[in-house]
Amino acid sequence: MTIDRVCSSCFSDTDLRAWIRSFNGPRGCDACGGYDSPTLELTEICEHIEMCLRKFWGLAVEQLPYESAEGGYQGETWYTNEVVFDEEQLELPRDRDGRLYNAMTRTLTDELWCDWDWLSLDDDVALRSSWESFCETVKYVRRFFFHQLGGSPDDRDSYSSAAVLQAIAMFSEQLGLIRTLPARTLLWRARPDIPRGTRIQPADFGPPPKDRALQSNRMNPPGIPMMYAASTASAAKKETRATTARVGAWRTLKEARILDLRNLPSVPGVFSDVSRHEILGLRFLWHFSDAIMSPVERDERVHIEYLPSQVATEFLRDFEFAGGHLDGVAYRSVVDAHAWNVALFAGTSALRWETIDAASPDSWLEFVRAVRI
């Protein structure tokens, strides 16, 4: 029995399944015999699969040099079925007897594929490598005036430190990661070092004064205060690693523009309709986000390990995004999976509370209350 029509449920890939369902073809699958999902002609499915492959794979005939005396194409190649089932690992969950696999192997072309650009790395791989070089540079080579280090005009896979930071900003904007925290959002700051019975002031829960900002943190070096806050009182206490703490709540008085690294979108697959540029950019941002959010032990090396994220934050703070400058960076909490944190570019002039006679016109954070937890 030939296989002419195949249902969406015969494939594991969610994007390919959705594409087949979008045609709403008649029920009745020649591969699995099911009537529970829309079908599409196998030839159309295979043509679509090969079209999608062109986003990430090159054709050997168009890319690779050919030397008959040297055995053919001068580079690694794969047949279409090898790319689909071995490299991209497309699974056929209902194909228990191999009939669909054999039918697809016969329907797919015998084209030879190669890397997208056999002379260059994919952009995300090149950027990851350049990010690692940037981290080594700012930690161990050059602390200031490092921007042109790392790049080479003769190497397409090498980005300068400045180019890596520029790529982070541009991808963040293009992928919609510049977002707003709504006005009246509650943010919490914890102080575990306030003794019981001490009269507290709202300023106790604000950013430290410049002369007391002595600690190296994830987003700021000593001497440059930022206001770190959490989405819940419990998370704010957990961030201090203390068993008990005073926790103060602040309310935003305006929409705050943030780089939102809290929940990055999943990286789309090869069979999605998302562009190659967006997919590679998102892959790199996942690597960047994981790198700067990695837990760091507070020891004598902490000021070095935080340097890359501090420099990146300073760059993003001053970057001219289309909608204006950022007010902060929001990111996942490493101590509470149900909460998130934000580093606000806010000094004492941003704070407001009732005892201030004349609040600064720049104030946009209002003190609400303090509790002990």
Residue 351 DSSP class? E
Half-sphere exposure of 60 (CA within 13 A, CB side): 17
Neighbour tally for 333: CB within 10 Å:
19
Dihedral (Cα; 72, 76, 80, 84), 10-degree rounding = 170
Question: Among residues of the chain, what percentage have pLDDT more than 90?
Answer: 67
Instruction: Say if residue 50's pLDDT is above 90.
Output: yes
- Rounded to whole angstroms, the Cα distance separating 242 from 209 reads 23
Closest alpha carbon to 164 in 316, 296, 332, 295: 316
3-state class (DSSP) for residue 212: helix
Quote the pLDDT of residue 229: 96
- Report how many helices (DSSP H) and strands (DSSP E) the chain contains, helices first: 11, 16
Q: Tens digits of per-residue pLDDT, 156-175?
A: 678 888 999 999 999 999 99
Closest alpha carbon to 218 in 124, 333, 134, 336: 333
- Rounded to whole angstroms, the Cα distance separating 206 from 229 reads 9
- Better-scored residue on pLDDT, 78 or 149: 78
Quote the pLDDT of residue 356: 52
Q: Tens digits of per-residue pLDDT, 105-134?
A: 999 999 999 999 988 889 999 999 999 999
Quote the pLDDT of residue 22: 97
The secondary element (H helix, E strand) that includes residue 40 is strand 39-41
The secondary element (H helix, E strand) that includes residue 181 is strand 178-181
Residue 248 DSSP class? E
The secondary element (H helix, E strand) that includes residue 19 is helix 14-21
3-state class (DSSP) for residue 371: strand
Quote the pLDDT of residue 193: 82
Quote the pLDDT of residue 122: 92
Q: List the chain domain ranges.
A: 5-115, 123-174, 178-372
Token duo for residue 122:
């994919």
Closest alpha carbon to 363 in 212, 201, 207, 163: 207
Token duo for residue 60:
């050997």
Burial level of 194, CB count in 10 A (0-12/13-18/19+)? middle
Quote the pLDDT of residue 352: 87
- Rounded to whole angstroms, the Cα distance separating 327 from 317 reads 8
How confident is residue 355, by pLDDT bands cut at 50, 70 and 90?
Answer: low
Instruction: Say if residue 16's pLDDT is above 80.
Output: yes
Name the least confident of 251-260, 299-308, 311-320: 299-308
- Rounded to whole angstroms, the Cα distance separating 76 from 85 reads 17
**Centroid of chain to Cα 245:** 32
- The full DSSP string for 48-81 is HHHHHHTTTEEEHHHHS-EEGGGTEESS--EEHH
Q: What is the pTM of this model?
A: 0.87
Whole-Å CA distances, 125 to 113, 122, 128, 166, 174: 20, 5, 5, 16, 19
CB 314 within 8 A of CB 275: no
| Residue corresponding to tokens 């700021």 | 220
Closest alpha carbon to 59 in 42, 78, 32, 39: 78
Q: Tens digits of per-residue pLDDT, 18-28?
A: 999 999 999 99
